[in-house]
Structure 1
């Protein structure tokens, strides 16, 4: 009887062990350990912004660096590579390893920086688009000269060198600027989502109020919101 009793006691903890294994396996999926979709979106959008910027620079070499925001695409692409590296790390609850904690913090800070850079790129593109719509252009040898107000002799003049005709500025370049606005805005939203996900991953539950001591220290309660 004693042997049977001991045998029954040994088999009792098995459900608890299976539950623990199930919880550990639940963290091994890509979505639980790190949002793979966000990192892939950052990489694809960052590469798209960079490629479009170099196409703009090749079609009109006189464009300023602020009008070809390859710097925004390269920055966010590097952040996405860091996110994919985080995806390959083994899961450690509560960031028990210093390497994982540092990489997560670095990814959060770089995503926040990428958000600021993308918003800046959107602002530059919107400013560029606002005065392209008001241009009055005429061709002179191998460059296109555009003015904001042709009736005002003191109006600001813009010169675009090494272009075939002015239609490439008022038409094609205007389309490129609109695409830059859309891509950088999407990229900013993805960076914002990555910051939120990393913040939520670190701080899942929020507590406010005071501790209410119970009859025993282990039964302390906390007000949740």
Structure 2
């Protein structure tokens, strides 16, 4: 079920809070079943990657952007919230990944494949790469809160995503395992997060911005045991 907070007042006007999902209210993340569809490695190995750093030594292939080009910059630079993404030509090489995004049935924003090189150490990930995302800039009052979903493409059994409520408090830390096909949703504007990936090869995963709402709730429920 969705949560609908009460109205608030800002600068003399009523503000309708963003719609959020109850399932994310507790921990701020939810782990889903492993993806059932086998995805050929060519779908992520044959696309062009751009040098763009976020949460480690990373490169990104842009499958959907604000205006349909392979620009990894934020949607707000085009005057848009992180919604209503436009597929880029690169997605033609990744039809299964496009189906995965569209299967959620909700508005999506940026869609990227991340290529993450092995991490130097867990301690360096904590000290250097933990971050919050900026998902909801320009998000209109009363619309669905933007969260992020992942599909892990490579099998990385020794790797995990670190999520923390408090950046500096390890007691608030949870770890999301990253086997092949791992699927999970995180409120990344609430939770500090980064991936510890010991390697030895690069890790690949799809990252998508999704709008919270009934469609996303149903997709999560379909993908839970």
Q: Is the pair's TM-score, using the shorter chain for normalization, greater than 0.5?
A: no
Greater share of residues in helix: 1
Where on the TM-score scale, by shorter chain, does this alignment land: which range? under 0.3
TM-score by length of 2: 0.20
Higher relative contact order by CA 8 Å / sep ≥ 6: 1 or 2? 2
Greater share of residues in strand: 2
TM-score by length of 1: 0.20
